[in-house]
Amino acid sequence: MARLTERGYQVLGVFATGLANDDIAKRLYLSTYTAKAHGKRLMAEVGARDRTQLVVGAYQTGFTRS
């Protein structure tokens, strides 16, 4: 999997909670558009079809941090 920036890890961690884009945006102090853009970028970087595949793949490869 691709290497992530610190912000990428933050976004992935919040995506892993299963929150909606609006709630992700609020938690990360972003606009909803920016939260969606972060998600799309992460999915493109790792070749995921959707958010579920992104998060499952991250856990399976040990990509997430504690």
Residue 56 contacts by C-beta under 8 Å, 6 or more apart in sequence? Answer: none
Cα separation, 66 vs 56, in Å, equals 15
pTM: 0.78
pLDDT of residue 35: 93
On average, the pLDDT of the chain sits at 87
Whether the CB-CB separation of 23 and 14 falls below 8 Å is answered with no
Show the domains of the chain with their CATH numbers. 6-60 (1.10.10.10)
Interval 32-56: pLDDT, tens: 999 999 999 989 988 899 999 998 9
Cα separation, 26 vs 48, in Å, equals 24
